[in-house]
């Protein structure tokens, strides 16, 4: 006899947007084919995820108990994260490399098979379409592991318009992240000692629970770890369970990309810290722009222009003085001494380790040097703030 499918929790689950605005909703209510399920969703619900955001038309769990607890745990132990919403756009065919080069200012010709590169995708105005991790699977086959925007349709349009000999589609691939300082020990137990030798931003092919996966040393935290790319959604529970069981001796807990940790580490969130309105110089992604790369890319002229004149804004780290501030519900303005707006706070949190309110802000270039003092209008509370460099100095 077939076992009846588990019914989702009846209690209300807050659906949280990137800015912390909470909409009371229930997962059963928001379930539809338009809101696509993650293969790990059942385990996420069973473990009591308490807030989600929407990401690539899927749910992304944000927090189970609290950001602070999960932050402390992530710094010391190992966590399992449902990041299936980081969807893949596959580009395969004789013109695959030419197409990938065309859509990013980063040089991809040097990306080896088995290697990953973080790269902004930019349109003809230099506007950031997305900031995926690009994986090179074969000479003529790539995955763009995307942030939250519709990359598949954009790339399909370019491929058709240019008459490229490629296939562009979203494959059945869902990343599961294993993050934290004990991730290496856990992966060695589950897959083998050789996984300790995977280099940062490289991946290997493996079989776990009878299903092919790619295991990359990557992930959206500064604490180290892996991402396991599951290629069969039906194996979601099995993949979760094998890490869950082996992880008990390492105090493994469910977690999620953590707001506090990612701001401390300087990981930018597309849609939050930068959008299509920004070019990668504004988003302080200079390290991922190769304006003199050999291949043609559609943002070249626009970005050359920005390189010449300098960007109109710059994304910086800031520390806001004073007591712990509440979650922000609106865009906080950055002001100069005279009270004129010179920028906007794009993300912020309280950092327990730094004992300070920290965040990112998009500001006029003349206010972007570390040490610059500004004011932040925190929902009417005017606070003094200081621009810091990437290492918070």
Contact residues: ligand THG, CB under 6 A = 86, 117-118, 131-133, 145-147, 175, 201, 218-220, 227, 267
* Shortest CB 274 distance to ligand THG, Å: 11
* Shortest CB 58 distance to ligand THG, Å: 13
Residue whose CB is less far from ligand THG, 217 or 333: 217
Residue whose CB is less far from ligand THG, 184 or 227: 227
* Shortest CB 230 distance to ligand THG, Å: 12
* Shortest CB 135 distance to ligand THG, Å: 8
Report the chain's C-alpha Rg in angstroms.
21
Residue whose CB is less far from ligand THG, 59 or 145: 145
Virtual CA dihedral for 93, 95, 100, 102, nearest 10 degrees? -160
Residue whose CB is less far from ligand THG, 145 or 299: 145
Cross-strand pairs, 171 = none
Within the chain, what is the greatest distance between any pair of CA atoms? 74
Residue whose CB is less far from ligand THG, 41 or 107: 107
Residue whose CB is less far from ligand THG, 145 or 349: 145
* Shortest CB 309 distance to ligand THG, Å: 27
* Shortest CB 147 distance to ligand THG, Å: 4
* Shortest CB 86 distance to ligand THG, Å: 4
Residues 6+ positions from 154 with CB-CB distance below 8 Å: 103, 121, 129
The DSSP code sequence of 71-122 is: HHHHHHS-EEEE-TTS-EEEEESTTHHHHHHHH-SS--TT--TTBEEE--EE
Nearest alpha carbon to residue 328 among 22, 83, 4, 14: 22
Encoding tokens for residue 277?
């309105």
Residue whose CB is less far from ligand THG, 132 or 236: 132
Element of type H or E holding 191: none
Angle between helix 151-161 and helix 96-103 axes, rounded to 10 deg = 120
Rounded CA-CA distance 43/254 in Å is 9
Residue whose CB is less far from ligand THG, 134 or 385: 134
* Shortest CB 145 distance to ligand THG, Å: 4
* Shortest CB 180 distance to ligand THG, Å: 14
Buried b (16+ CB within 10 A) or exposed e, 360-376: bbbbbeebbeeebebbb
DSSP 8-state class, residue 270: B
Residues 6+ positions from 87 with CB-CB distance below 8 Å: 56, 58, 145, 146, 152, 170, 173
Residue whose CB is less far from ligand THG, 26 or 272: 272
């Amino acid at each position: 006899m077939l076992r009846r499918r588990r019914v989702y929790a009846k209690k209300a689950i807050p659906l949280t947007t990137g800015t912390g605005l909470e909409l009371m909703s229930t997962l059963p209510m928001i379930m539809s084919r338009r809101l696509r399920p993650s293969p790990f969703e059942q385990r996420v619900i069973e473990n009591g995820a308490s807030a989600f955001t929407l990401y690539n038309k899927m749910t992304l769990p944000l927090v189970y108990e609290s950001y602070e607890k999960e932050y402390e745990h992530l710094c010391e132990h190992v966590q399992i994260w449902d990041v299936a919403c980081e969807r893949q756009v596959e580009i395969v065919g004789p013109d695959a490399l030419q197409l990938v080069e065309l859509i990013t200012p980063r040089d991809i010709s040097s990306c080896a098979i088995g290697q990953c590169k973080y790269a902004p995708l930019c349109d003809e105005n230099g506007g950031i379409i997305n900031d995926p991790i690009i994986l090179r699977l074969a000479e003529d086959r790539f995955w763009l592991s995307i942030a939250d925007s519709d990359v598949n349709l954009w790339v399909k349009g370019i491929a058709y318009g240019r008459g490229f000999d490629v296939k562009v589609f979203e494959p059945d691939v869902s990343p599961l992240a294993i993050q934290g300082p004990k991730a290496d020990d856990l992966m060695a137990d589950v897959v083998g000692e050789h996984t300790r030798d995977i280099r940062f931003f490289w991946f290997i092919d493996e079989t776990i629970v009878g299903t092919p996966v790619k295991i990359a040393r990557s992930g959206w935290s500064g604490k180290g770890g892996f991402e396991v790319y599951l290629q069969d959604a039906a194996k979601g529970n099995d993949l979760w369970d094998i890490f869950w069981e082996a992880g008990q001796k390492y105090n493994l807990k469910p977690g999620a990309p953590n707001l506090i940790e990612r701001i401390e580490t300087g990981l930018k969130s597309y849609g939050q810290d930068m959008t299509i309105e920004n070019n990668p110089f504004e988003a302080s992604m200079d390290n991922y722009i190769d304006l003199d790369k050999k291949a043609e890319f559609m943002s070249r002229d626009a970005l050359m222009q920005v390189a010449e004149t300098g960007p109109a804004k710059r994304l910086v780290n800031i520390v806001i003085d004073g007591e712990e501030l509440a979650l922000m519900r609106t865009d906080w303005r950055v002001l100069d001494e005279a009270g004129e707006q010179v920028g906007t706070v794009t993300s912020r949190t309280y950092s327990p380790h730094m004992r300070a309110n920290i965040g990112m802000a998009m500001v006029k270039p003349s206010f972007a040097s570390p040490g610059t003092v500004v004011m932040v209008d925190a929902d009417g509370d005017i606070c003094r703030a200081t621009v810091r460099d990437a290492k918070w100095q």
